[in-house]
Amino acid sequence: MREIKNLLVTGGCGFIGSNFVRYWLAQHPQSRVVVYDKLTYAGRKENLHDLWDTANVSLVVGDIGDQDLVRRTCQDEGIDLIVNFAAETHVDQSILGPLVFTDTNVRGTHVLLEVARELGIRLHHISTDEVYGHIRDNHQSVETDELAPRSPYAASKAAADQLVQAYAITYGIPVTITRGANNVGPYQYPEKAVPLFSTNAILGEPLPVYGDGLQMRDYAHVYDHCTGIEAVLLKGVIGEVYNVGTGREMTNLEMVDIVLDTLGKDHSLVKHVTDRPGHDRRYSMNVDKLRALGWEPKYDPKQAVAEAARWYVENRWWWEPIRSGEFREYYDRQYAERLAGTGAK
């Protein structure tokens, strides 16, 4: 079992990153965590609002593309592990404005690799099941499958994965990669499906479901993603990739039904809208390699979605201020015309 003392968690104010910081410190209170975050629209200090006054958490506001700041932070803080959550992550946003995804997800990861190489630091990279692309028939993606991304977001993450693996081979730096399924849970920015549908339902607004809603996804609770990352950090083989999910799928329509039933809302809120370009039909991952480390998910997909929906009921203080201003502009740009075609108001 490896000992990890000082972590640099990039993107630690984002959804998965902030949940990881919370989980890691609860399980490893002797560790120190330096949160490194650009504080973009989805990176929010509020996600760690109750931890900033604790002695073993600190914040550095910066871009992972700033090599001097990353290097100085790692040196000053005695970092022995970088966990890279920092990324632009939303497929719809990548279709609207793809270049920022290359800047952050590819160049930013490259900068972290250069600093890790220079200072001799281990790097763990957070990736996604979307790098595998649309999965056909009954196949489940395994870690050695060819990458076949189909959106600018997925392509940028696949490029980052390959850079990480190339640095391990060329320079021998210690790296690991986890590829996560569709995560749901606390502090997820409401551009993503489950928090969008949950908050819309709470407000009595229509739920814009892309196409026929029969796209297949593995909805995993962010808690299980965090425990999976922990297992890889402590027991995973250096240089290896591990899938993290439940290994089970549901359609997006099934997900919507769970949200509405959990919140006690009428299913007439569902409105089918024009699908997005290149929408992958199915993601599915085999997680046997991670299970071999002794890991098991706590939540199945139905439990994960229901638990997430309940969190938004109980934490309006967090999401109500978000659903205005910049978010509202994005929402109207993304859905207003689509919803108008359904007759929804």
| Token pair listed for 133 | 């692309």
130 counts as catalytic: yes
**How many angstroms separate the Cα of 52 from the Cα of each of 6, 30, 38, 95?**
16, 16, 16, 35
- Residue 146 DSSP symbol: P
66 counts as catalytic: no
**How many angstroms separate the Cα of 289 from the Cα of each of 211, 228, 237, 239, 245?**
34, 11, 11, 14, 11
Per the CB < 8 A criterion, the answer to whether 214 and 251 are in contact is yes
Out of 132, 153, 219, 331, which one is annotated catalytic? 153
Out of 37, 63, 88, 130, which one is annotated catalytic? 130
> 10 Å Cβ neighbour count for 173?
21
Q: 196: Cβ–Cβ under 8 A, 6 or more apart, which residues?
A: 190, 207
Angle at 234 between CA 248 and CA 239, to 5 degrees: 80
- Residue 333 DSSP symbol: I
88 counts as catalytic: no
Out of 37, 63, 88, 129, which one is annotated catalytic? 129
| Token pair listed for 174 | 């210690």
Strands 250-251 and 216-217: antiparallel
| Distance separating alpha carbons of residues 314 and 252, to the nearest angstrom | 23
DSSP H/E element including 40: none
For the annotated catalytic residues, the residue numbers are 129-130, 153
